[in-house]
Chain A
Amino acid sequence: AQSVTQPDIHITVSEGASLELRCNYSYGATPYLFWYVQSPGQGLQLLLKYFSGDTLVQGIKGFEAEFKRSQSSFNLRKPSVHWSDAAEYFCAVGAEYGNKLVFGAGTILRVKS
């Protein structure tokens, strides 16, 4: 069965600092991986996705993520965080040709000025 672990429940970073949110997955075959962001009171917005090919994927809002098969990880990064990035971030995994996403518990990002 698929599972996703986001080890950090809360992270606080200073505005302008770099960010890395961790995601580890468990899945026997080739995973399809996603990062979503949820701003307060909003639904989920897709930041980026990995299906195959280049293991470094670029997303919206200046985010990127790197797929590392050997570590079963798909960590999200941003070089310089803005106050508007404060939100909850979810990593998710799915199977090729599947419909079901399995989500991690989420990481709440706080940005201090």
Chain B
Amino acid sequence: DVKVTQSSRYLVKRTGEKVFLECVQDMDHENMFWYRQDPGLGLRLIYFSYDVKMKEKGDIPEGYSVSREKKERFSLILESASTNQTSMYLCASSLVGRGLEQFFGPGTRLTVL
């Protein structure tokens, strides 16, 4: 069965902290994605990666960076967390050539105080 896992379900951080959100998939997928979900706005793409060490900005990359050192792992980094980054973060993965058929993790609800 397809599996995308995220390191934390809930996370509370303070303004200015560096935050790492981790995502792991066990499906040997080439593509991995980070989305942010906010009420009334749906899901918005932050970054995606189509291969190890390769990344592309999504629609709202400001304030975020990503790292993909291994095929199965994709990290989202908030260099200096701010209160407006309080949100639900969802990771997804897909096969190359079937990029739109994305499998999602359970999400991490991040609160920045």
Interchain nearest-CB distance for A23 vs B (Å): 11
Known pairs A99-B31, A99-B48; A32 contacts B107 (CB<8 A): no
Inter-chain contacts of B42 with A (CB < 8 A): 4, 6, 90, 103-106
Determine the interface band of chain A, counting residues with CB < 8 A from chain B.
20 to 34
Kindly state whether residue B4 has any CB partner on chain A within 8 Å.
yes
Task: Judge whether A9 is part of the interface by a CB distance below 8 angstroms.
Answer: yes
Q: What are the residues of chain B within 8 A of A90 when measuring CB–CB?
A: 42-43
**List of A residues within 8 angstroms of B48 by Cβ:** 99-100
Q: For this complex, into which size category does the number of interface residues on chain B fall?
A: 20 to 34
- A82-113 residues with Cβ-Cβ distance < 8 A to B are 90, 92, 94, 97-101, 103-106
- Can you list 30 pairs linking A and B with CB atoms under 8 Å apart? A6-B42, A9-B40, A32-B100, A41-B9, A42-B107, A43-B4, A43-B107, A44-B43, A44-B92, A45-B104, A49-B101, A90-B42, A90-B43, A92-B43, A94-B99, A94-B100, A97-B99, A98-B99, A98-B100, A99-B31, A99-B48, A99-B50, A99-B94, A100-B99, A101-B43, A101-B45, A104-B42, A105-B40, A106-B40, A106-B42
B positions within 8 Å CB-CB of A = 4, 9, 31, 40-45, 48, 50, 58, 90, 92, 94, 99-107
